[in-house]
């Protein structure tokens, strides 16, 4: 478990992942508090806090004397097919839940945009481009294009990308540890290339993301352009009212 994110929240997200990925089907009973406490090596109180929030959100239904069950509401489960809450750990967790259908790696000329995003020197004329179609529950979910500096991108193996997310490969196999990310989200429409890869009609609504990943020395090492199907992807921000001496301000929960 991460030391950054509260343990109860990590447990909550794990159970939610079980539900979303049908490891527990609608209407099915989940393990008891004692069993979950033993599984996660935490107290029952911590498990109860996670369960209570999932009950409030409607994912779980608690029946006195019988146990806790997954909701029968398929629409609710599907509506939360993918959720980001702003934590870096969540980003790693969520990308691990999708798998690649199509992967292509090549070297391309550095454009003005890529040079700016990756802060490349004038001597760097090429970058590695990785194009992927990713699936969520066997449906095309995202068409993603990653740009990496040559010294990093040349170490990425195409076969590994069918087995593991790129973030995981870079973190665990290449020893590149991320500390920050800058992301832009935009509602737009699918062009011909995106529509073809996502199995939708040109002009269909999509959610377009641009993300730059940074290491400890604030060096950008990955530039990502990702187009997500608007009927599958959902981005959730949690806001908190921060009390001030004069009134209150809303702030992102990060």
User: Is 237 inside any structural domain?
Assistant: no
User: Is 85 inside any structural domain?
Assistant: no
The answer on 102 and 57 residing in a single domain is no
Determine the Cα–Cα distance for residues 74 and 77; give it in Å rounded to an integer. Answer: 5
CATH number at residue 157: 3.40.1410.10
CATH number at residue 76: 1.10.10.10
User: Is 247 inside any structural domain?
Assistant: no
For position 240, what pLDDT does the model report?
Answer: 55
Domain that holds residue 111: 90-229
For position 129, what pLDDT does the model report?
Answer: 98
User: Is 253 inside any structural domain?
Assistant: no
The answer on 173 and 142 residing in a single domain is yes
The answer on 223 and 100 residing in a single domain is yes
Q: Which of 31, 59, 80 is the last residue of a domain?
A: 80
The answer on 154 and 41 residing in a single domain is no
Per-residue pLDDT of the chain (254 residues; tens, 9 = 90+): 544 467 888 888 889 888 877 888 899 999 999 999 999 899 999 999 999 999 988 889 999 889 999 998 877 776 555 444 444 444 544 555 567 889 999 999 999 999 999 999 999 999 999 999 988 777 888 999 999 999 999 999 999 999 888 888 998 899 998 888 888 889 999 999 999 999 999 999 999 999 999 988 888 999 999 999 887 766 655 555 555 445 555 544 44
User: Is 243 inside any structural domain?
Assistant: no
- How big is the chain, counted in residues? 254
Return the biggest CA–CA distance within the chain: 69
The answer on 125 and 104 residing in a single domain is yes
- In angstroms and rounded to an integer, the radius of gyration of the C-alpha atoms of the chain is 20
For position 148, what pLDDT does the model report?
Answer: 97
The answer on 129 and 61 residing in a single domain is no
The answer on 110 and 32 residing in a single domain is no
For position 135, what pLDDT does the model report?
Answer: 85
User: Is 249 inside any structural domain?
Assistant: no
The answer on 155 and 110 residing in a single domain is yes
User: Is 47 inside any structural domain?
Assistant: yes
For position 109, what pLDDT does the model report?
Answer: 97
Q: What are the beta bridge partners of residue 178?
A: 215
Domain count, the chain: 2
The answer on 46 and 134 residing in a single domain is no
The answer on 192 and 152 residing in a single domain is yes
The answer on 152 and 50 residing in a single domain is no
The answer on 156 and 45 residing in a single domain is no
Q: Which of 80, 105, 134 is the last residue of a domain?
A: 80
């Amino acid at each position: 478990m991460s030391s950054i994110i509260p343990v109860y929240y990590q447990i909550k997200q794990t159970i939610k992942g079980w539900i979303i990925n049908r490891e527990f089907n609608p209407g099915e009973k989940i393990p008891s508090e004692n069993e979950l406490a033993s599984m996660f090596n935490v107290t029952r109180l911590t498990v109860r806090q996670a369960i209570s929030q999932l009950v409030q959100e409607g994912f779980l239904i608690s029946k006195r004397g019988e146990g806790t069950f997954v909701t029968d509401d398929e629409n609710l489960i599907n509506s939360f097919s993918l959720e980001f809450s702003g934590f870096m750990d969540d980003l790693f967790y969520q990308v691990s839940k999708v798998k690649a259908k199509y992967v292509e790696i090549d070297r391309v000329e550095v454009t003005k945009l890529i040079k700016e995003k990756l802060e490349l020197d004038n001597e760097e004329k090429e970058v590695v481009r990785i194009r992927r179609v990713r699936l969520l529950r066997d449906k095309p979910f995202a068409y993603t294009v990653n740009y990496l500096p040559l010294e990093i991108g040349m170490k990425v193996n195409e076969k590994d990308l069918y087995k593991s997310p790129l973030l995981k490969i870079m973190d665990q196999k290449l020893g590149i540890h991320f500390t920050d990310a800058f992301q832009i989200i935009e509602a737009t429409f699918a062009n011909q290339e995106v529509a073809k890869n996502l199995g939708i009609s040109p002009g269909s609504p999509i959610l377009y993301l641009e993300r730059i990943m940074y290491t400890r020395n604030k060096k950008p090492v990955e530039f990502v352009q990702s187009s997500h199907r608007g009927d599958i992807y959902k981005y959730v921000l949690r806001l908190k009212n921060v009390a001030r001496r004069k009134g209150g301000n809303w702030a992102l929960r990060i």
